[in-house]
């Protein structure tokens, strides 16, 4: 099985200096690529001067996470793509459990390792933690991370299990499945595009897995921090995109209506917190959703939509009303 480790880069020279070496050292047998999204710093020169064994693909413009990967991956030959953030430090033998999982189960299309915090290595990291899920209303969360509450890694998620979505910070996906799904939806630009990709894969009958036998460490926030209003805009809008595309029609319309009401509550909450830019970001997200609704609706595929797609009915209610911070305490509906 040939694995291509593909790092998407945009002005990340300092991150490449810090983390690219470990990727090369701990990934014997894999091909290493950097897809550069029209960087204006010295990223490309750094790679060519210091790591000539790394193949560089230069995109002519910064198309974000979605277009950047779609363009770069078209020219890469491999059985499995590993999409890896530039701010990830990998560990020795990290590829072995992943490759074994793909070889032993042909229905497994997507795999995620354990994602730990670079700065606090005994805690899970926000982007992916120990595997992603969504609730009935389409809100994403993870084992090991519910909203901003992060669990300590005590071995509670050292298993190998099926999950709903795998993080784009470190995602392995079979090449033929990626292109059967037509890659990432470029309307998303960035954020929650991996939720949509995994949802579409599961609607087609493929499986998404997590394995705690492989672990990496993620710095996080290198492109957009959680405090950036642009991230608020993308998360709120793109979540509505995914619901529109991936649920049965009547169910999708019902969930969208409820989500719009809950988004209004979130927007009012931002006003009371004096976070006016985030309030405006939610308004912009809704207008963008309305503007793109017809296009997103046309992307609905003729598949047998999953009816049991969620882990719990409302992660918002569980966390903010019942103060649940630990995945294992959640009631499975």
Cα atoms in the 13 Å half-sphere on the side-chain side of 276: 1
Please give the share of the chain, as a percent, with pLDDT higher than 90: 94
> Over the stretch 101-154, which tens digit does the pLDDT of each residue have?
999 999 999 999 999 999 999 999 999 999 999 999 999 999 999 999 999 999
Catalogue all structural domains in the chain, each as residue range(s) with its CATH number: 3-218 (3.90.550.10), 229-329 (no CATH)
**Cα dihedral 178, 293, 318, 327 in deg (nearest 10):** 10
User: How wide is the angle at C-alpha 268 spanned by C-alphas 266 and 273, nearest 5°?
Assistant: 95
Q: Are 207 and 109 in contact (CB under 8 A)?
A: yes
Confidence band of 304 (pLDDT split at 50, 70, 90): confident
pLDDT per residue as tens digits for the range 145-195? 999 999 999 999 999 999 999 999 999 999 999 999 999 999 999 999 999
The alpha helices in 5-63, defined as continuous H runs, are 13-25, 43-50
Task: Check if the beta carbon of residue 139 is closer than 8 Å to that of residue 255.
Answer: no
Q: Beta strands of the chain (E only): which ranges?
A: 3-9, 31-37, 55-59, 80-85, 88-90, 108-117, 132-134, 140-142, 145-146, 149-150, 160-163, 170-174, 207-218
């Amino acid at each position: 099985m040939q694995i291509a480790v593909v790092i998407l880069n945009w002005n990340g020279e300092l991150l490449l200096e810090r983390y690219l070496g470990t990727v090369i050292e701990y990934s014997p047998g894999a091909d290493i690529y950097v897809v550069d999204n029209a960087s204006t710093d010295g990223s490309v020169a750094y790679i060519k001067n210091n790591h000539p064994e790394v193949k560089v693909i230069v995109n002519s413009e910064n198309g974000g996470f979605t277009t950047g990967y779609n363009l770069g991956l078209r020219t890469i030959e491999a059985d499995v793509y590993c999409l890896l953030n530039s701010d990830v430090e990998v560990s020795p033998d990290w590829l072995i459990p992943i490759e074994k999982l793909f070889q032993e189960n042909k229905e497994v299309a997507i795999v995620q390792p354990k994602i730990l915090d670079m700065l606090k290595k005994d805690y899970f990291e926000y982007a992916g933690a120990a595997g992603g899920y969504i609730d009935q209303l389409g809100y994403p969360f993870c084992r090991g991370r519910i909203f901003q509450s992060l669990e300590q890694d005590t071995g509670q998620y050292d298993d190998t299990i099926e999950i709903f979505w795998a993080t784009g910070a470190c995602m392995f996906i079979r090449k033929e499945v990626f292109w059967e799904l037509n890659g990432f939806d470029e309307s998303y630009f960035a954020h929650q595009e991996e939720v949509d990709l995994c949802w579409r894969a599961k609607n087609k009958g493929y499986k998404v897995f997590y394995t705690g036998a492989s672990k990496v460490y993620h710095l996080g926030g290198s492109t957009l921090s959680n405090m950036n209003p642009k991230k608020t805009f993308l998360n709120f809008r793109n979540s509505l995109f995914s619901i529109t595309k991936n649920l049965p029609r009547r169910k999708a319309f019902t969930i969208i209506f409820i989500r719009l009401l809950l988004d209004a509550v979130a927007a009012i909450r931002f006003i009371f917190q004096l976070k006016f830019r985030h309030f405006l970001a939610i308004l912009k997200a809704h207008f963008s959703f309305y503007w793109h609704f017809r296009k997103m609706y046309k992307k609905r595929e003729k598949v047998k939509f999953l009816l049991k797609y969620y882990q719990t009915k409302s992660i918002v209610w569980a966390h903010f009303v019942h103060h649940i911070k630990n995945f294992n305490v959640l009631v499975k509906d």
